[in-house]
Structure 1
Amino acid sequence: MERTMKQRTALFCGVFLLLLLKLMLLRLFLFNEVEWGRVLTDVFSLLVLMSLLELLIPMKARHVAYWVFNLIISIILFASAVYNVYFGSIPTYTALSGLGQVHQVRSSISTLIEPEHFIFFIDVLVMAIFWIVNRFRQKRTKSSEMTFTQYSFRGRRRISAWKLSMLGLLILGVVISGLYIRKGWGIENELVRAEHMGFINYQVTAILKSNQEKRELAEGSLQDTINEIKELQESYPYRDVDQIGKEPKYFGAGKGKNLIIVQMESLQNFPIHQSLNNQVLTPVMNQLADDGLYFPYIYQQIGQGNTSDAEFLSNTSIYPLGSVAMSTGFGGKELPSLPKLLKKLGYVSNTFHVNEVTFWDRIKMYPALGFDHYYDKPNYTNDHFNSFGPSDEELYRVGIEKLKQVQQDNKPFYAQFITVSSHSPFTVPEEFSKIEIPTELVGTQLGNYLDSVNYSDYALGKLIDSLKQNGLWENTVLMVYGDHQGINSKDTDSSLITSYLGVPYHDQVSRFNIPLIIHIPGLTEGKRIEQVGGQVDMMPTIANIMGISLREEQFTALGQDLLNIEKNAIGMRYYLPSGSFFNNEVMFVPGNGFDDGTAVSLKTLKPVKDISPYREDYEYILRLMKLSDEYVKRLPNRAP
């Protein structure tokens, strides 16, 4: 019996040390270093899991249980490391809701995996080999198998002592972990919070914060939240003082006209007006920008839902939570939206996407947003452009056919196109490629990206040609914007972009910078509008152009009309930690809080030393995003 107790202790300690090493490896992947003082957080949180497991599993099953436990933890840590490569954030348990989408974007995910990520599974592989070899060895005698069932009263006492020691370790781990959680509770920056608390405690905190938010929601009402949003926004001087009391600029410039919004996959702003070896990268969008309204300082604000979150943002002007894709979490809500506002004016709203409508639960989101029809994968001929299937040209071909039918019914339409031809890994089939990529860039992320952006621009030109041929162009407002970043700084050195395109590039500011371009029929002169904004501002801006007064409609928008403000601040989270924001001057990212945060100039892309002028924006954004979360959670549920 004494021997079996030693074996049990050795097994517990061995697995504990193995998993602790893996948690330290994760720290290295996430934070690029391992601070030994913070490893203690992992020690005590792991003690909680291990002692709890030891108390719950039968003695006979402990070897299998530990093997399975080790495998599960390894998979979670592996996935978290890969997840961080793309998102730059720490996943919580809520990210599991997106596992069903993995097979749809497997070609993109595979490019994120590095060989060193598989270190998490080395021991699992060794154990599997050992188990296979052991199967061929002589089976143990029945007497040895009965070791744990034929123990004496003295053995029972030793087992009880073992369980008491595990109970003690469990209590110790819970108490110490609780202190670490309490100490880091108020840190808004998720990366810093996870580093201080450790990965396991960070997951526990996510659960506790979620429960706390549910209790807070039960104490107020939707109207209370709306009133607080209005009061907060009125305290922040957005409006152009010269326009107060006057009709907003560009109000109704597109009134009564059709509206087409094109959400371009992975489109960043830096390729606009640029050339590669004397080949213009985006000639179509360049012309649109020159003739229409071009906003070069717009920044992505998506959360876990990526592209689907961008669709949600541009139609609702509500911040995504970051903890769940908005289509998944709020597709069952009565969402105030652009399609619903246009429906009051007699518009028919259609949305087009070549993927399956179940992808990111769009099957719930589209009805919630008020779209009359959606056209997904079965409506298109698959020309095998990429892993999603049909090309942008095919997307637009079907779209024009459907819009012509609406035109024949003498009804105005709103159509949103969600493109995918420039989706990572940005591989363009040779027969679709329109430019020649320099030999040294062939096969690189940058080379593939520029090739795909150029093709998407070409396809957009085909859409415009079709609108002109069918008599729709002069009666259609066209808005084009990027859904999120394309270039991953971990795969592309920013100096390459500067070298080949001659533009300065910052790994965060430039990465999150997306274009917004609006073509308005009859506009006699194009205008470059350098007002800083985000995707939350797109809906109020286009509503103003379409002649819709959000104030008269009593519509609660978390963003602003970019054509009629002189100051702005927009929040961002998930790809940046909570508390991050862009204002007219800088991108700000907090540390433990505001005082140890950092700022980068949007114009010079250089660090800003004095951050004191931005405290008001920091506090405003934290409050605004919290109210946005309360607002969308308190919206009534949609009838089945």
Structure 2
Amino acid sequence: MKKLLFILGNRTGLIAFIILFIWVKSMIAYFFVFNLRGIGPAEFLLMFVNPIGFTAICFSLLLFIKRTSLFYLATFVLTMLANSLLYLNVLYYREFTDFITIDTMTGGAGMFQHGFSFGSVPIHLTDWIYWIDIIATIALLLIKKIKFDDVPLKNKKAFSFFSMSLALFGLNFWFGDFNKHQLILRKAQSDKTYIVRYLGLGPWMLTDGYYTHLVHTQRKDANKDTIHKIQKYIDNNRYLAPNLKMYGISKNRNLIIIHLESFQQDLIDLKIKGTDGKEHIVTPFLNSLYHSKNTYSFSNFFNQVGQGKTSDAENMLETSTFGLPSGSLFAKYGSTQRFEAMPSILKQTEGYSSAVFHGNVGSFYNRLNTYKQMGYQNFFNQSFFDNSPANMSPWGIKDKLLFRDSVPLLEQMQQPFYIKYLTVTNHLIYTMDNEDRDPTFATVNSGNKLVDGYFETAHYLDQAVQQFYDYLKKSGLYDKSTIVLYGDHYGISGSDLKAFSPYIGINSNRFNSFDDTMLQRTPFMINIPGQTDGHIINTYTGEIDVMPTLEHMLGIDTKKYIQFGQDMFARGRQDFVALRNGGFVSPTITLTSLHGNYYNTQTGQRISKLNVVQEKYVTETRKKVFELLNNSDKLNNQNLLRFYTPKGLKTVISKNYNYTVQATKKRLEEKNKNLAAKSKSIINQNHGKTTLAEYTKDIPEVKKGQDSSKTVN
């Protein structure tokens, strides 16, 4: 112990101690959280040594500081920064199975936006290991077991330590680039895992910062001629004439989008054996919609999100463009981006009013600004509802209350309307209050609380949607509407898949990247009351295709718009779904990621060697996927729509929109008052009487007599 205290009382000893523990904690994160797996001894060696060189460079610079107080202050600050970077990546990876980027830390990808509930951060009991050395060192300094070293190093000795550190990192970099040629120039843009595996988290952040700077420069120096090339690409490769049978089938109907948070296709028709020994159906109501004769259901609908997750899904549905390769487009560009978005197009071409209902705060994913740029007239976020603790899930207003308490707002909107509900209860970490649990439903005992909770929150979401449907029917809205339900992205991922797999018929011991890709399927249902030819459609499609599909169903020609999706009902569709990671899924072959493996889509068997026909097919498809993603990225990164305004579509002026409660209340009231008898709002058609009484009271918070709505009256 005395020897350790002596080492810590020495400047070089303290620095060496810090570097050692950062290395130890990095190894724990690499192998037990990030699940980095080296291919061959070279990659394993790089993983073992990569935290040392870069960390040593940073800390050896401190040895040049002469003043004692400044040295220890700088050491403390740098140590906290280094450990925070590591630990935040640990938390982020548990949630998103990805590493933090510059955009993430400045508001992208969702984790650090306002409105994030700290109670939902995936913190583990063993996380103390990432901080114990710092706490112990500070405690020893406070009780003066460690004394400050007042003797600074001579510059020559400090330079020696810095030089050795630089040489070690240089050797690390050279060996990494030798093993993967053009590591920074090529691999960093395609798969950030290579940078972390070969160089470490610090170099990854610097690399990401460099490419973020390039993107900003790219936007600044954008050439308007590029938009014409993209328009030509879409005309030749993406636009499809609508299916005449489906064109205009939903014309003048209200369009209601229900966003099923973290809802995988695997939940549809799923039965589980609960802890009570009985068999339970997880989502009975959604199952009935999926199989209904007035629903067009897609069994091979894939999420195509990247780091932006929910916001990526929204962006694809609203604009038919992909999210960014890194970070969230909403958070990164949403405040200034030019969009050709659904609410603006529907307003200007068909006279639709529009709104989003969301249980979280408006700043989450920068929605307050992004929705204005998209032309949404109303954004009813958490501030419109009673957000007392009893009404809240970790990510916002509980779903049942969101649907119910939206009624006083919904009934004041002019029809036809385009509205979107963003549910939140079925969100990681899948917990809810005991009073919200269905006493007739028993979940499994998988040994994994996350998986057990996932079935419960999905069941709760199913009940919430059913209650809202009951209201739509009682209020008369059901027969006037087209209702779209979709899952935005996967619910279970990473190490939790081992516990989840048996319930969806997958052998967890043989789980591979193909299985993971198939788990990216989410439900997509278009429910049109009155239709009788609804059925399950096996077409391979994805979120990028939703917008042109719905526009054609509403009778809107999409030819003049810049959209990368293809109508799901149209003839001549390209036979692949592009994944944001560079892979693709087709009816015959699946490529799990840009550098992934090939699989037979129908059998799930890995294709170790492609035959001549397959080789030609995948070469052509990979080229098409690259062109598709690349053109979308150019459009968004360079904000190219500022150079193109389709005939008949005016540019959205964001400053004309105000989402505060008071301004919204005044606007809705004045609209109904000015229109008088011509008002097409539900409240006017119901002679000024609210339809909230039509909504079920079978909600725990309502049963208790709470007035859970704080909405505009």
3-state DSSP class of the match of 2:577?
A: strand
Q: In structure 1, what is the equivalent of residue 538 of structure 2?
A: 530
Match of 2:569 in 1: 563
CA distance in 1 between counterparts of 2:212 and 2:235 reads 26
Q: Structure 2: how far apart are the matches of 1:164 and 1:390?
A: 57
How many angstroms does 1:83 deviate by? 1.7
Counterpart of 1:104 in structure 2: which amino acid?
Answer: F
Higher mean displacement: 435-444 or 123-132: 435-444
Which sits farther off after the overlay, 361-370 or 90-99?
A: 90-99
Correspondent of 1:346 among 351, 360, 372: 351
- Identify unmatched segments of 5+ residues in structure 2: 1-5, 39-43, 273-277, 643-651, 656-713
Query: Matches of 2:87 and 2:546 in 1, distance apart?
Result: 37
Q: CA deviation at 1:60?
A: 4.3
Conserved in 2, the CA contact under 8 Å of 1:229 and 1:624? no
> Match for residue 151 of structure 1?
none
Contact 1:536 1:558 in 2 (8 A): yes
Whole-angstrom distance in 1 between the partners of 2:622 and 2:65: 46
**What amino acid sits opposite 1:427 in the alignment?**
T
What does the per-residue CA deviation read over 1:580-629, in whole Å, with 9 as the maximum and x for residues that have no partner? 33333444234xx65xx313444444433345332322232233222212
Show the 5 A alignment for 1:324-473: 324-332=327-335, 333-344=337-348, 345-382=350-387, 384=391, 386-407=393-414, 411-434=415-438, 435-438=440-443, 440=445, 444-473=449-478
Preserved CA contact (<8 Å) 1:177 1:201: no
User: Which residue of structure 2 aligns with residue 22 of structure 1?
Assistant: 25
Aligned-partner residue type, residue 629 of structure 1: D
Write the distance in 2 (CA, Å) between the matches of 1:105 and 1:286. 31
Q: Distance in 1 between matches of 2:409 and 2:352?
A: 14
Cα deviation 1:24-65 (Å, max 9, x = unaligned): 333323244571145444443234322334446745432342
Q: Could you tell me which residue of structure 2 aligns to residue 194 of structure 1?
A: 196
Q: Does the 8 Å contact 2:215/2:637 carry over to 1? A: no
Distance between the aligned counterparts of 1:57 and 1:251, measured in 2? 76
In structure 2, the residue matched to 1:85 is 94
Aligned counterpart, 2:120: 108
Provide, for residues 469-526 of structure 1, a one-character-per-residue CA deviation record: whole Å limited to 9, x for no partner.
Answer: 1222111010000122212342242343136999x98751243211000012332211
Change over 3 Å in CA distance of 1:438–1:231 after alignment to 2: closer
Q: Is 113-122 or 526-535 further displaced after alignment?
A: 113-122
Residues 72-110 of structure 1, C-alpha deviations (whole Å, 9 max, x = no match): 21221122123222222222233212454376232332x
> What corresponds to 2:598 in structure 1?
599
1:249–1:563 Cα contact (<8 Å) kept: no
Question: Residue 152 of structure 1 corresponds to which residue in structure 2?
Answer: none
Displacement of 1:117:
4.0
Q: Which of 535, 546, 550 in structure 1 is aligned with 2:554?
A: 546
Q: In terms of mean alpha carbon deviation, does 514-523 or 31-40 score higher?
A: 31-40
What secondary structure does 2:598 align onto? strand
The answer to whether the Cα contact below 8 Å between 1:427 and 1:448 also exists between their aligned partners in 2 is yes
Q: Is the 8 A contact 1:274 1:501 kept in 2?
A: no
| Residues 391 and 401 in structure 2, CA contact (< 8 A), matched pair in contact too | no
Contact 1:229 1:627 in 2 (8 A): no
Going from structure 1 to structure 2, the CA distance change for 1:282 and 1:569 (only over 3 Å counts) comes to same
Residue type at the aligned position of 2:528: I
Q: 1:599 corresponds to which letter in structure 2?
A: Y
Q: Which structure 2 residues correspond to residues 51-90 of structure 1 after superposition, within 5 A?
A: 51-55=60-64, 58-90=67-99
Deviation string, structure 1 residues 156-196 (Cα, Å, up to 9, x no partner): xx723234435645764675576557434212122234323
Structure 2 Cα separation of the partners of residues 164 and 189 of structure 1: 35
AA of the residue aligned to 2:89? S
Output the CA distance in 1 between the equivalents of 2:35 and 2:405.
46
| Structure 2 CA distance for partners of 1:229 and 1:113, relative to 1, 3 Å | farther
Q: 1:217 to 1:308 in 2, by over 3 A?
A: closer
CA gap 1:117/1:604 in 2 versus in 1, 3 angstroms: farther
Return 5+ residue gaps in structure 1 as ranges.
Answer: 149-157
1:269 matched residue in structure 2? 265
Contact 2:50-2:200 at 8 Å conserved across structures = yes
SS, match of residue 131 in structure 2 = helix
- The letter for the 2-side match of 1:271 is L
- The letter of the residue matching 1:119 is I
The 1:60/1:377 distance shift into structure 2, 3 A limit, reads closer
1:440 CA drift (Å): 3.0
Cα distance in 1 for partners of 2:505, 2:290 equals 24
Alignment of 1:317 onto 2:320: yes
SS in 1 for 2:522: strand
Q: Alpha carbon RMSD of aligned pairs, Å? A: 3.4
> 1:284 and 2:285 equivalent?
yes
CA distance in 1, matches of 2:605, 2:434: 39
Identify if the C-alpha distance between structure 1 residues 165 and 343 changes in structure 2 by more than 3 Å, giving closer, same or farther. same
Which residue of structure 2 lines up, in the alignment, with residue 294 of structure 1?
A: 297
CA distance in 1, matches of 2:210, 2:52: 21
Corresponding position: 1:228 with 2:230: yes
Q: Which residue identity is paired with 1:375? A: F
Count matched residues.
601
Within-5 A mapping of 1:477-496? 477-492=482-497, 493-496=499-502
Is 1:517 the counterpart of 2:525? The answer is yes
User: Could you tell which deviates more after superposition, 439-448 or 616-625?
Assistant: 439-448
Shift of 1:253: 0.8
Q: Give the equivalent residue in structure 2 for 1:153.
A: none
- Show the counterpart of 2:677: none
Q: Is the 8 A contact 2:576 2:586 kept in 1?
A: yes
The aligned counterpart of 1:159 is: 154
